[in-house]
Amino acid sequence: MKTLRDIGENGLLRSILPLLPQRPDTLVGPGDDCAVVRVPGSPDDWLFTTDPVIERRHFLPETPARLVGRKAIARAVSDIAAMGGTPLWILVDLVAPAATPLSRIRGLYDGMIAAARKWNLGILGGDTAEGDTLELHITGVGRIPRHTAVLRSGARTGDLVYVTGTLGGAYLSGNRHHLLFDPRLEAGRFLAENHFATSMMDLSDGLAADLPRLLDASKRGVRLEAAAIPLSRAARQSSHPLRHALCDGEDFELLFTVPPRLRARFENAWKNRFPRLPATRIGTILATPRQRLLHLSDGSAIPFRPGGYQHFLTHEP
Amino acid sequence: MKTLRDIGENGLLRSILPLLPQRPDTLVGPGDDCAVVRVPGSPDDWLFTTDPVIERRHFLPETPARLVGRKAIARAVSDIAAMGGTPLWILVDLVAPAATPLSRIRGLYDGMIAAARKWNLGILGGDTAEGDTLELHITGVGRIPRHTAVLRSGARTGDLVYVTGTLGGAYLSGNRHHLLFDPRLEAGRFLAENHFATSMMDLSDGLAADLPRLLDASKRGVRLEAAAIPLSRAARQSSHPLRHALCDGEDFELLFTVPPRLRARFENAWKNRFPRLPATRIGTILATPRQRLLHLSDGSAIPFRPGGYQHFLTHEP
């Protein structure tokens, strides 16, 4: 009998997503960072995303509850940032064992409330239920001026591939990046408003897992320059910096593509606007979807294969 | 150390909901069947609800997966019906152990897809994650013409209390009402459009749990007539029909109030529009919030106390 373990999260999504019924008012259905719908009369398109945050998967029993609450909201905000949008409202499903200490529950909500204040969000409620595992399920709702959402599917041949910040080691010992990251809200809006980005997503499962999703959506290949990939301090201090940068996940940086004719204009505008946040060019989009290469600093090239975290397939670290 | 078990779901909500930050564009925040927000330019107000459906809480391992998927969608649709609105879009977080058979996952989605088609909904996606328990977390989005959403808080002194259909025994042996119920979408819209209902909610945790929530929101009391409460066939065939009707939960009927001056007009219009669905008058709203009485058929009256299902407090049947 086949199970989820046999096909992994990607296999599950491939088999299910095409079957889901869609309404004509839906601009982007399943498979991007957010769904995008059109509302009669509104000057905006509307963005929806959901994110589960589950004990022992996304946080540990000893993780401070406030930081878990913060992370849950920040993940949804990051999905909206990855479209170029502005988050407005949050809903929360809380699942918890009856024996959960009230102080822990209060910590979760304190973290969510502080995060909502930071990003000017309303928390519209949600639901609570008893269950065996502590979980938060966050729904994020945002808006973006009509026709300006940046999708995963927009990369064109010759576009330059960029990432914000540095990658890898979000979970490495002593590194709390996966709890304390700031979603790239302003950067996402800047890229969408100025029409610099042809495609965009946030890096949640690692460049090796997420870039192939962008390439699949855009039906393109890539030439990546290994030496160009910006390594986090945690990754650099490890014994396998590049592997951490490619596979760790939870970077929550933006991955996006810019047409080559806009390169100088984009890079100058970026440096003016975000002097302290690097946007690093790490590769080029290729025409052939199956042509996906990682060029190493010694001049050789190896196939760039999907990696990173995949639910149902990847075992716990 | 205090835990969730010490305060129950109601205690949790009382302590947390007032703290949640709200935006000025939010008409109804946490605590009603749906949140209601205003979108610039739209002739509608927008409704949001979330509903968890968890194995061993809301369904059993032997429950057919298609019916679990159907129920998950129907619960969200029922929340939108309880405001008088029209559901449009659904998002789904799936949590599942890696060893879950693919056939079971496919059954869940088959049930959700059939339900989405039945109620003309788009399924916008969501997320999937590995976890110890099979769960669906549904977000429902709907709309309603501006200013017409019917809230829990609108009941006024002297209003008549009604329920649709019959109550009790949704889970009793041989009864699959909790899986096969039809949310009262048309009835909810009829009550909102015609301004018959001053307050409304759906009955998910049992009349004894839900009516007190409506009374608390409206700051009112009630005089209930025990003999008037419409009993389901399953409840009537049990040894404690009234207890089942009050406490079982998962009826997914509408509970609503109508001003006494509209009584004849409402009852005639209802019978014309819904000749096969009873709307039964079961009581009257009283001015004093603490005055909550259940009048029995022998002429005596007992206090109407909160009961029914409450997460974190009620033990499994």
B94-108: average pLDDT: 96
Tokens of B105: 């996952």
Q: Which of B40, B33, B26 is nearest to B192 (CA)?
A: B33
pLDDT in tens, B188-237: 999 999 999 999 999 999 999 999 999 999 999 999 999 999 999 999 99
Cα B247 from Cα A181, distance rounded (Å)? 46
Structural domains for chain A: 31-145 (3.30.1330.10), 152-303 (3.90.650.10)
What is the pLDDT confidence band of residue B317, given thresholds at 50, 70 and 90? very low
Instruction: Inform me whether the pLDDT recorded for A52 exceeds 80.
Output: yes
Q: Which residues of A touch B12 (CB under 8 A)?
A: 105, 128
B240 phi and psi angles, rounded to 5 deg: -135, 70
A240 burial (CB, 10 Å; 0-12 / 13-18 / 19+) is exposed
Q: Which of A89, A118, A201 is most worth mutating to test chain B (most B CB atoms within 10 A of its CB)? A: A89
B54, closest residue in chain A (CA to CA): A131
- Asked whether the beta carbons of B90 and B79 are under 8 A apart, the reply is no
Beta bridge partners of B94: B128, B136
Beta bridge partners of A223: A284, A293
Average pLDDT taken over every residue of chain A: 95
With vertex at residue B247, the alpha carbon angle to CA B243 and CA B248, rounded to the nearest 5 degrees, is 105
The alpha carbon of residue A50 is apart from the nearest alpha carbon of chain B, in Å, by: 5
The alpha carbon of residue B262 is apart from the nearest alpha carbon of chain A, in Å, by: 33
Q: Which of A108, A152, A197, A176 is nearest to A17 (CA)?
A: A152
Q: Which residues of B touch A9 (CB under 8 A)?
A: 128
Which position has the token pair 């808080």? B153
Helix segments in A82-184, DSSP class H: 102-118, 177-180
How crowded is residue B315: how many other Cβ atoms within 10 Å of its Cβ?
A: 6
> A20–B125: do the CB atoms touch at under 8 Å?
yes
The alpha carbon of residue A154 is apart from the nearest alpha carbon of chain B, in Å, by: 19
pLDDT in tens, A250-308: 999 999 999 999 999 999 999 999 999 999 999 999 999 999 999 998 999 999 988 77
Query: For B91, which of A54, A133, A139 is closest by C-beta distance?
Result: A139
Instruction: Inform me whether the pLDDT recorded for B316 exceeds 70.
Output: no
> B40–A44: do the CB atoms touch at under 8 Å?
yes
Q: Are strands B135-145 and B44-54 parallel, antiparallel or unpaired?
A: antiparallel
Q: Which of B55, B58, B130 is most worth mutating to test chain A (most A CB atoms within 10 A of its CB)? A: B130
- Identify the pLDDT of residue A314: 59
A221-225: strand order across its sheet:
A199-202, A254-258, A160-164, A279-286, A221-225, A292-295, A301-303
A54, closest residue in chain B (CA to CA): B131
pLDDT in tens, B242-289: 999 999 999 999 999 999 999 999 999 999 999 999 999 999 999 999
pLDDT in tens, A73-94: 999 999 999 999 999 999 999 9
Tokens of A265: 């204009």
Instruction: Inform me whether the pLDDT recorded for B9 exceeds 90.
Output: no
The alpha carbon of residue A62 is apart from the nearest alpha carbon of chain B, in Å, by: 17
Average pLDDT taken over every residue of chain B: 95
> A124–B312: do the CB atoms touch at under 8 Å?
no
Cα A81 from Cα A184, distance rounded (Å)? 6
Beta bridge partners of B36: B28, B47
Q: How many CB pairs under 8 A join A and B?
A: 271
All residues at 6 or more sequence positions from A285 whose CB lies less than 8 Å from its CB, including other chains? A155, A156, A157, A158, A159, A160, A161, A215, A218, A220, A221, A222, A257
Q: Which residues of B touch A129 (CB under 8 A)?
A: 52, 54, 57-58, 311
Going by the DSSP 8-state scheme, the letter that residue A277 receives in this structure is: S
What is the pLDDT confidence band of residue A317, given thresholds at 50, 70 and 90? very low
B12-18: average pLDDT: 91
pLDDT in tens, A166-204: 999 998 888 899 999 999 999 999 999 999 999 999 999
